[in-house]
Amino acid sequence: MHKDIPVHAIWLAQDDPKKNTAVRLSRRNDLKLHERFNQLPRRGIILEPLCGKVLGPEDHSLLLEEGGSLVGLDCSWAQIEDSVAQVMRRTKLKPRMLPLLLAANPVNWGKPGKMTTAEALAASLYLIGREKQARKLLGAFRWGEQFFILNKEPLDAYCEAKSSSELVDLQFEFFDIERPE
């Protein structure tokens, strides 16, 4: 029996709290929501989609063996650059982004990478081998199971990757995106 990974989110209050996935998960006690930076965990990984470094097998031990926390950055996609800059100046958490996956939430359904905080956290948990915890998180949403159905092949392939670079390369097998030169 695995111990659950501690899951947190920094909430910048940029969108409607009634529709916010991190707010809903905190009400269900599935994650700890923070409005202030000084209450964030000191060790772990923060999901930050602009950092350029994919959450890979090299990062797993920080969460699985060293007691690190998984932290989602909950902000509006419209304000992502400013939000990332604001948050990353004030934390020592390791920034990581996810490999490409399709969003299943009603707002961005089918769009590569445009995931909610809940989807990003669940994808991360899945990638580090905590599928049960990932499914519990997305179980809070009527579209949650759709995320795993839409992304089954890439998620399973990403889980098999032996390194971040292999993970990055795998994206090109599933998504029609330009390979950087």
Domain extent, residue 107, equals 7-174
- pLDDT (tens digit per residue) in 51-101: 889 999 999 999 988 889 999 988 777 787 887 888 888 888 999 999 999
Report if residue 143 sits inside a domain: yes
Report if residue 180 sits inside a domain: no
- pLDDT (tens digit per residue) in 104-147: 999 889 998 889 999 999 999 999 999 999 999 999 999 999 99
Report if residue 179 sits inside a domain: no
Where do runs of H (alpha helix) occur along 7-116? 21-27, 60-64, 80-88
Report if residue 41 sits inside a domain: yes
> What's the structural domain count of the chain?
1
Residue in this structure with the two tokens 């947190």, named with its chain if needed: 8
Q: List CB contacts of 9: < 8 A, sequence separation 6 or more.
A: 22, 25, 26, 31, 32, 33, 34, 71, 72, 73, 74, 117, 121
Q: Pick the range with the lowest mean pLDDT from 27-41, 141-155, 157-171.
A: 27-41
Compute the CA torsion angle 176, 106, 148, 164 (nearest 10 deg).
50
Helix (H, G, I), strand (E, B) or coil at 96: strand
Report if residue 134 sits inside a domain: yes
**Banded model confidence at residue 1, pLDDT cuts 50, 70, 90:** low
Report if residue 42 sits inside a domain: yes
Q: Tell me how far the alpha carbon of residue 106 is from its chain's centroid.
A: 17
120 phi and psi, to 5 degrees? -65, -45
Report if residue 1 sits inside a domain: no
Report if residue 100 sits inside a domain: yes
pTM: 0.91
